[in-house]
Each structure stands twice: as C-alpha cells, then as structure tokens.
Structure 1
Amino acid sequence: MEIYENENDQVEAIKRFFAENGKALAVGVILGVGALIGWRYWTSHQTESARSASQSYQSVVTEIGSGNADKLSAAEKFAAENKNTYGALASMELAQQFVDQNQLDKAATQLQQGLAATSDENLKAVITLRLARVQVQLKQADTALKTLDTVKGEGWAAIVADLRGEAQLSKGDKQGARSAWEAGINSKASPALSEMMQMKINNLSI
C-alpha cells in the first residue's frame, strides 16, 4: 500500500490511477449502465408481451365462442403462432369447438399443437387427457392408451384409469376395462368418480 506524505501526493496518485485505468473504468461503467438499462427494458418488454398475449387470448376466446368461420381461422392462427400457455389454452378452446361440431380429427390436431406449445406440466396433463378422450371417440383405442401412458403423477391416476377403461371397452376388452376401473377406484379417486367407475363395472355384467 502506498504511503502519501501530503494531499498533493494523494491527488497525483489519483491522477495517475485514472490516467492508467480511466478507459477501463469508463468501459466498465458504460457496460454496467447498459446492462441495467437492458435488464429493465427486457423486464418491461416481457411484462408488456404477457399483457398483450393475455388480451389477445381473451379476444380469441370470444371469437371462438361466436362460431364464425373467419374468426375461427383467426383463432387458429393465434394458437399456431403463440408457442406458450396462451397458445395452448387457445388450442384447447378450439378443440372443444371442433368436438362440439363433431370434427374430431381437427380437435385432435389442436390438442397435439397445444401439447407442443406449453411447458407447464399440469396443463400438459389436462391436454393429454382430453386428447386421449378424443382418440377414444375416433376409435383409436391403442393410440389413446399410449397417450395415457404419458400422464404421470398420482393426482391424475383415477382420471387416467377411467379413460383407460373406456379405451379398453371400446376395443371389446371387458376384462381390461374392469381392471382399469378397479385400479381407479383403489387410487383414492373422488367419491363421485369412484361411484361412476363402479357403475361402469356393474354395467359390464349386464
């Protein structure tokens, strides 16, 4: 550490420091300020983008509900272009609209698109379950069973078992359906779902 005899020595030392390091300090300050400004801009941009996407999604939901063909096309475009949760939710809304219109192939396509758009595991599970249900309606039981295999987590076990039973029954496999529903009842299903699966089991023997 340098020892200074008086203030003049300190001033000269400071001058030498800035003469030797001034450019580096200036660059460091500029980079630091730039990074701060960039971070604030990015955060603001993300917030604004999320707000804009939310507003667009609400408009899309309204358009889907109208049943207007042109507006449905606009909604499909929104779902295809937004690779995020809002895009996935829009795909789900469109899929429901197509199910109501008995256009099951289009519904399945929208649900597959929704799966690819989101990284939220819970939303993925919901979309997957809906996709499996549509596949059962399309008489694609084996495909539906494979789809159900991708749903993980105890919280979904009973619903998966119920759909698995439906898929097995659609194949004519009553024993497979019975096994699935019995597993569902034993998986801590809600009282209502347990009762429904028990009714399905009872109907197998009729």
Structure 2
Amino acid sequence: MAYDLEEQEQLADLKAFWNKYGNLLTWVLIVVLGSYAAWNFWNYHQRNQAADASVLYEELQKSLADKDNVKVQRIAADVESKFGSTAYGAMAALAAAKGAFDANDLKTAKVQLQWAIDHGTDEYKSIAKLRLAGVLLDEKAYDDGLKLLATNFLPQFAGAVADRKGDIFVAQNKLAEARTAYQAALTAMDSKNPGRKLVELKLESIGGTVAQPPKAAA
C-alpha cells in the first residue's frame, strides 16, 4: 500500500531518528536486558545455594548431636568455603565452635568463632563475640576477654555483654566491678528475660543486692 505524504514524512523522521540514536538505544536495551538476566540468574543461584547449604547444615546438626566433632568440623569447613556468603556460613561456624568446645578443643572453637565474627552479619558477630569471650574466660585470658567485650555489639546484647563482664571480674576477684557489671546487666535486661534469675543469683552470691521493682500505687 502506498504511503500518503504525511506517512512518508513520519517514516522519514523515524529513519532519521533511528540513524542518529538507534545504535545508542540498542546498547541501552542490551544493558537493561543483560542486567535483568543477571539479576534473575543471581536470584536463582542464591536460592540454589541456600537449598544446598541447608542440606549440609542439617547434616552438621546431626553430627553435632552425635558428638562427632571431626565430622562437624569437616562439614562446617565445607559450608564456609562454598556457602560462606549465606547465613548458613556463620550458623555453621557457631555450631562447629560448640562442637569443638564440647570436645575440649578450645583452639578450634576460637577459630570457628573468629570466622563468624569476620564473615557473619551483625547479629552473628555479636553472638560469636560473646561466646569467644566465654572461651577466653575459660582460658583465663581475662584482659583479652574484656577487650573483646568493649567492641561494638547490637543493643539487644547489652545485658549479655554486661553479664559476661561480671563473670570475668569475678574470676579476677574484682568483686566491686563484678557487682556493677551484674547490676548493669539487670538494668539492660527485660523483666521477662529468662536469664535475669541467674544474674540475680550471681549478684547476690558476691554480696550484691538486687533492686526490687517499685510497688504499684494503691
């Protein structure tokens, strides 16, 4: 069908526009489509990684329950090397640290906890640092433990950090500092925190007094 004059002018304008900008638009489209494909591939890869990591983590938990520390450490190393960018990496490191600690292998426990500190999210870092401070307490490395507890923690761990400081001060026979730390732990802990009772017992055992909550007005 022959084009009328107006259609011929529009076609000429389109050709001129394409001649001027067509190459640029093609490259923009390639970049956009490539980015979309990469995003889909990344999501697919992440889902597959999480699924594979979960299988290994379940196997690790079973080995932990069986107290097979050699297998626990082997699986944890596998998870950390292959899936360290997922949450399972830090979870495996924490589980492996427990397995090593239960097997009285404090050196390996420290290595695994340090891995979680170096690679985990802020929550896992906080958990790992608290547990590492506990290992340092067992090793009588009190100054190192206190130094670690002075680093950054998420706010919700304030009570647990103060409690751990109190434990270290007790081990050093610094009872005044321990009482202050335990009081700080109780202040930071919610009234329904199941750990409060233990902190209260520790405070009272070193001569501290647990403050009673104010009575409601009659």
TM-score strictly above 0.5: yes
- Letter of the 2:34 partner, please give it: G
Partner of 1:122: 123
- Give the deviation of 1:169 after TM superposition: 0.9
Partner letter of residue 37 of structure 2?
A: I
Which residue pairs with 1:109 in the alignment?
111
Q: Summarize deviations over 1:6-43 as a string: whole Å, max 9, x none.
A: 32233333334334444444333333333322222222
Tell me, what secondary structure is at the counterpart of 1:44? helix
- 1:88 maps to a residue whose letter is A
SS in structure 1 at match of 2:188: coil
For 2:111 and 2:39, locate their aligned partners in 1 and report how far apart those are by CA, in whole Å: 38
TM-score by length of 1: 0.82
**Separation in 2 of the partners of 1:32 and 1:106?**
47
- In the TM superposition, 1:1-206 aligns within 5 A as 5-68=5-68, 70-81=70-81, 82-84=83-85, 85-118=87-120, 120-190=121-191, 192-205=194-207
Q: Could you list the runs of 5+ residues in structure 1 that have no partner in the other structure? A: none
Q: Deviations over 1:74-117 (max 9, x none)?
A: 22422541433211111111111122122222212211111112
Question: How far did residue 62 of structure 1 move?
Answer: 2.4
8 Å CA contact retained: 2:113, 2:132: yes
Identity %: 26
8 Å Cα contact 1:115-1:127 kept in structure 2: yes
Q: Letter of the aligned partner of 1:58 in structure 2? A: E
Aligned residue-pair number:
201
Preserved CA contact (<8 Å) 2:73 2:96: no
Contact 2:186 2:199 in 1 (8 A): yes
RMSD of aligned residue pairs (Cα, Å): 2.5
User: Is 1:151–1:160's contact at 8 Å kept on the other side of the alignment?
Assistant: no
Structure 1 or 2: more helix by fraction: 1
Letter in 1 for 2:197: E
- Structure 2 gaps of 5+ residues are 208-218
Question: TM-score by structure 2 length?
Answer: 0.78
**SS at 1:186 equivalent:** helix
Amino acid aligned to 1:115: I
SS, match of residue 173 in structure 2? coil
Alpha-carbon displacement from aligned partner over 1:147-187 (angstroms, at most 9, x marks no partner): 11124344222221211111011112122212211222233
Q: CA deviation at 1:73?
A: 4.1
